[in-house]
Structure 1
Amino acid sequence: MKFQHIAFALAFLTLFSCGTTQNNAMINNTETTSENSITETHWVLETLEGQKVNAMQHGDKIGFTLHTNENRISGYSGCNRFFGNYSLKAGNRISFSAMGATKMACPEIGVDESKFFEVFNLADNYSISGDRLSLNVGRGAPLAVFKKAKPAAEPITEKYWKLKTLEGQDVKMAKNQEREMYFMLKTDDNKVVGFAGCNTFSGNYTLEKGNRIRFSKLATTLMACPDININEAEFLKIFELADNYTINDDTLTLNVGRRAPLAVFEAIILIKKHQ
């Protein structure tokens, strides 16, 4: 009888142990899935302090992306680009630190940037429901709700990237300028080609995981354009310094480290002319 009781107890413990292991595995998988679903995804602002907002401000949408590379956060607040660090822990815990932003002035903005930045200062946990992400503090109502942005239909390559801002300043075509400043990454032989305002340029590029990018062997034509007031060297310096990039819909930023973007570009659809 004792043997039977011991055997039964062992069987029960074995089943309990298996069940616990399976449950732990399910919990771990849930946490992993949750973490994977929040990172490397662009989240567009939908509500702030319970109020519906228009995320589209000054040609871009307010939102952010959590990059797994060095736990970086980058985003757009309606006027300025911001960046910093984040930390994820078990139980959907999240915190943000070392936050910084550009210092552009935009008087006609539809969202209070200070309230938006306060979300990242206060948030200590998050929740996901479908394609919605909520940043919360404690068990209170969400500080802000974001919607998962649709992924870009095409990658960074084979797109015509028109220059929008250079070192935080809006760029306009100079008088007598032939065309706008731009660049394209051609998949053939990893070639970069573009126009710097007076001269065309070309070179090589490499792409790596974590949105890393490097340019090399850049060369330009040697045309002189005395009637065009533009500093080509300032634009070309971007390709020497840039080591990473971010893409939000049709907007591309070239960056160096965790600093403010060196330049912001807009994807332009080229229309082929029929002969």
Structure 2
Amino acid sequence: MKQMSLLLLSVLALSCKSTKTISDQPGSNTSSNTSGSEHLYMHRWDLIEVDGKRVNAEVGKRAHLLFTAGQENTFSGYTGCNRIAGTFELTGKDVIKFIMTATTKMLCSDDRQIESIILKAVDNTHKWRISDNILSFRNNDSIILKFSAVDAALASKLEGVWEMNYISGLRIAFEGLYPGKKPSISFDLATGEISGNTSCNAFSAPFKMDGMNIKFGDGRSTLMACEGNGERAFLDMLKKV
């Protein structure tokens, strides 16, 4: 397993491990704003809002769509439970028509409601618009779905749960700080937040990326009483990245 190379100070502050392999540097997740169809094909689009309500998703289960231009335009994606694929047409400035869709047939539990909404929305979508890296689908009356632009290659590299295996600057051995559970994080590029565990409490925090640079904002956590200094060391070090 290779160590994650994103969490760096001028010297190594944190490194994490996962069964995922990172062998090259991810690019920036920024792009110019445009309503042109070329922007539609540049990103993976992760679902963030349904009928005006924010969508929360488990790690690796955020619904998303990918669009591909060709003689026959195609799309593919994930509903949070099943894979989805089909074709579509762009006509006029902001008109989109989904012609054919197919899905896998996995049994869904809590994800069934979101999946049903997505499939119904695809059938009912008539217009689309991209503004500030947000893709909106509309029926004739209102916005029904919103997606956030995500770098598909970067999302693939960061998927999963990353468990910390080193922390710098402390005199206490790593195994002494974390004799049991180790801190872990997961990235949600659609919302710009990490979530995970401090080794004691569940937590989340905003983050921003610019190429190989990453900055974490103030976090929120549950309030269980924790033994030792491991949790505080982890949270303090995140602020220094």
> Which TM-score bucket, shorter chain as reference?
0.3 to 0.5
Greater C-alpha radius of gyration? 1
Higher relative contact order (CA 8 A, sep 6+): 2
TM-score by length of 2: 0.47
